[in-house]
Amino acid sequence: MYKIVEKEHFSENVVKLIVEAPMIAQSRRPGHFVIVRIGEGGERIPLTISAADTVKGTITLVVQAIGESTRKICALEIGDCFTDIVGPLGQATHIENVGTVVCCGGGVGVAPLLPIIKAMKEAGNRVVSILAARTSDLIILEKEVSEYSDEVIIMTDDGSKGQKGLVTAGVESVINREKVDLVVAIGPAVMMKFVSLTTKKYDIPTMVSLNTIMVDGTGMCGACRVTVDGKTKFVCIDGPEFDAHKVDFDEMIMRLRAYN
């Protein structure tokens, strides 16, 4: 069993859970995710590993209560256990020193972005992080992101914190003042789509981490399929990260809406 040893509320519907999972903690890399389940017959929920402590043998998961299963997970308390945690799954992020990297996180997308920010900084890059949300209450992990960033820009739709505007405005402000070598974006599909459209104008390589519907996490079911460069890919085994300029976001968004 995978016991919860720490719990923190970021907001009413977003919680951070630190869970005992020593083997996963040892082998995870930035970009990896796990699939969790609570209760016999429970739904399988994919969650990116936000952090890991190899000494304590723990992994950090950030969960947003959206449906019945995620609400049950968010209701778990310290001492409770997950029935299953499978992972690490997916392909790890390719990390290298490219120069200046702009890392964009939307809402809970900041959680999977954090280990990438850390790894990019440790590889010698200049890292500019842009955190975006509808309102200030939904900005998460700002302190942790700041620790590994040369600069942090906050964007909120209502202007309650940082600058008022969308994440794309923050991206363009950086592009217009300095050379950007890579952009990484993780968040809602529509956010990643418009970040991709923005960077494509400037011919800046852009990586996104896709958050499609997943079932088995091993490429068998095909539920997470997306079209990348005209070819069908499975997010769970080929991703979750892809070249943003090759992703068919409109198709992906349409498939996500089918599950609403």
- Domain 2-89, CATH number (from 3.40.50.880, 3.30.1360.20, 2.40.30.10, 2.60.40.1730): 2.40.30.10
pLDDT band at 179 (very low <50, low <70, confident <90, very high): very high
| pLDDT above 80 for 216 | no
Q: What token pair was written down for 107?
A: 């809402």
User: In this predicted model, what pLDDT tens digit does every residue of 158-174 receive, in sequence order?
Assistant: 888 888 999 999 999 99
CA 223, 229, 234: angle at the middle one, nearest 5?
A: 20
| pLDDT above 80 for 254 | yes
The residues spanned by each domain of the chain are 2-89, 100-257
pLDDT given for residue 215 in this prediction: 72
| pLDDT above 80 for 65 | yes
pLDDT given for residue 259 in this prediction: 61
- CATH 3.40.50.620 matches 100-257: no
pTM of the predicted model as reported, rounded to 2 decimal places: 0.88
pLDDT given for residue 113 in this prediction: 92
pLDDT given for residue 173 in this prediction: 93
Q: What token pair was written down for 41?
A: 């017959």
Residue the block writes with tokens 């363009």 = 172
pLDDT band at 186 (very low <50, low <70, confident <90, very high): very high
CA distances from 236 to 33, 44, 186, 209, 219 (A): 9, 13, 16, 11, 6
pLDDT given for residue 79 in this prediction: 93
| pLDDT above 70 for 5 | yes
Looking at per-residue pLDDT, the higher value among 1 and 181 belongs to 181
